[in-house]
Amino acid sequence: MAIDNHCSRENYYPDHKVLNDDVHGHVKLDLYTFDMIDTVQFQRLRDLKQLGASYFIFTGGSHNRFEHSIGVSHLAGVLIERFQRDQPELRITNNEVKCVKLAGLCHDLGHGPYSHVFDNQVMPRARPGLDWSHEQASEMMLEYLIDDNNVDIERDEVNLIKDLIAGTPRSKSQYDERCFLFDIVANKRNSVDVDKFDYIERDAQNLGLRTSYDTKRLLMYSRVVNNEICYHHKEVYNLYEMFHTRYSLFKRIYTHRVAEAVELMLTDAMIYAGITSAVNNPEEYLHLTDDILRVIERSKANELAKSRSIMKRLRTRDLYKFVDEFLLPPELASHINKNTITEAEIVSYQSDNDNLTEDDVIVKWVKINYAMKDRNPVDSIRFYSKFNNQESFTIPKQQVSFMIPQQFEEVAVRVFTRDVHRITAVQKAFRRLLKHIVPNSSDAEPHAALTLPNDYTEILLTKRRRSLSSNSADSNEIVKKWHDQSENNGN
């Protein structure tokens, strides 16, 4: 992302800087956004991978929350400035435009190391019962940014920015007629917002994936009707495509089995390192980024030995292993829950002499949906027609296509092990438990493609020994060549 700083007297954009973004092209950002960008609190986002642990699997996923946040600010500005220009009856003020742009810019200030790994896995395990989210941390870091850098901004502007990030106004009476403003950055009504517009397009592009939905059409064919952002009726399938693309990214990338194994290792390493106390102190939280893993690895402290050991395994690709998966049928959802399938329950179904312990097993529940749990988000979107853009309506899915899914959320139970030697024993124990829970259901039949051969553990260990032996031989050969070259040069 290159910055073009116009400094000449003939400056066409005296109140802007122009950035060349790899997704959105040349974008203009107001100078007041750089009051936020050029701070240590915002620059911290350069050290937070947008895709978290997925970067360990997908080499293209190296982009950071820094550029995503700038992209969201840009798209938020594009949308609200078009409303301001095309719908003057809305009386959108320049102050509201400013706050919407800054909300887009600052919405991810509070993410922790490896993004959602920290708030979805580390914090619930390390600080159970604590009411904490990265959105709350974003508010904390925003206040710290403003105070630490003496940013010239009014208190009512700060409060509005916080509410726009949260997606709901705290003073409802004050914004009864401005609810559409809260649909732009974090839409709680139907989940269509510029945050999704940017991360779906940015993630797909960096990963080399093609998408079939068009963000630019949604930005263009939208307007405010009855205090709500609505879309042209011909964009209904485009919106379904957006939610399907998001689902596909979750299915293929964000919840990739090996990426989740890495997430579990990162979670263990961070919990053993005891880093979560920093969430209450913005000055400490400022330094809590992906770099914390390098801090752990460099440390010689005895109390970090366990975390260092996990990091050594991660660096040498000695990962926790995915064992098995059960895709939960909807009719069994009321029968099977997190209390039914646990590490302790799986261990209780082990064979004699397996010697499994609860620490050998990890159970992870994975939910993937269209962004509104088990509901169809398009049912909550309102549309206008080319014949009347002053009235809005919903479009039932049967008027769009009979190929649209009937179900909008799936739940999978995944099992992992920390010890490769235990993988076969854990899988057999898990399948015995499933057979006990749902003895007469064909849905509980073992997944043939995931069934491990009896000698699978030995196969894995043999492959690893060969890999280590090969690496060692290569290293010795390199050292020998270097040594021979040095002697020849000396002669």
pLDDT in tens, 217-272: 999 999 999 999 999 999 999 999 999 999 999 999 999 999 999 999 999 999 99
> Which strands, in side-by-side order, build the sheet including 361-369?
321-328, 409-417, 361-369
Mean local confidence (pLDDT), 100-128:
96
Please, how many CA atoms are within 13 Å of residue 72, restricted to the half-sphere of its CB? 28
State the catalytic residue, choosing from 24, 68, 74, 134.
134
Rounded Cα distance, 41 and 35, in Å: 11
Contact 190, 377 (CB under 8 A): yes
pLDDT recorded at residue 306: 97
Mean local confidence (pLDDT), 167-172:
83
Q: Is the pLDDT of residue 8 over 50?
A: no
DSSP state of 251: I
Average pLDDT, the chain: 92
Q: Is the pLDDT of residue 428 over 70?
A: yes
SS3 369: strand
pLDDT recorded at residue 487: 59
Q: Residue 414 to residues 29, 246, 452: CA-CA distances in angstroms?
A: 44, 21, 15
| Cα angle: 194, vertex 254, 210; to 5 degrees | 65
pLDDT digits (tens, 9 = 90+) for 289-323: 999 999 999 999 999 999 999 999 999 999 999 99
Closest of 421, 136, 137, 127 to residue 270, by C-alpha: 127
Query: Hey, what are 428's tokens?
Result: 């057999």
What Rg, from alpha-carbon coordinates, does the chain have? Answer: 26
Residue 372's pLDDT band, with cuts at 50, 70 and 90, is: very high
pLDDT recorded at residue 152: 95
pLDDT recorded at residue 176: 81
Q: Residue 99 to residues 40, 102, 266: CA-CA distances in angstroms?
A: 21, 5, 36
pLDDT digits (tens, 9 = 90+) for 380-407: 999 999 999 999 999 999 999 999 999 9
SS3 414: strand
SS3 58: coil
Residues 6+ apart with CB under 8 A from 106: 36, 42, 69, 138, 141, 142, 145, 161, 165
User: How many helices (DSSP H) and strands (DSSP E) are in the chain?
Assistant: 18, 9
CA dihedral 466, 469, 475, 480 (to 10 degrees): -120
Mean local confidence (pLDDT), 14-35:
93
pLDDT digits (tens, 9 = 90+) for 54-67: 999 999 999 999 99
For residue 483, indicate whether it is catalytic: no
Question: Which amino acid is it at 378?
Answer: V
Residue 9's pLDDT band, with cuts at 50, 70 and 90, is: very low
Q: Determine what percent of the chain is predicted with pLDDT higher than 70.
A: 91
pLDDT recorded at residue 319: 97
Q: Determine what percent of the chain is predicted with pLDDT higher than 90.
A: 82
Q: Which helix (H) or strand (E) holds 3?
A: strand 2-4
Contact 37, 105 (CB under 8 A): yes
pLDDT recorded at residue 485: 60
pLDDT digits (tens, 9 = 90+) for 462-471: 877 776 676 6
Residues 6+ apart with CB under 8 A from 391: 225, 384
Contact 63, 115 (CB under 8 A): no
Residue with token string 């709901």: 168
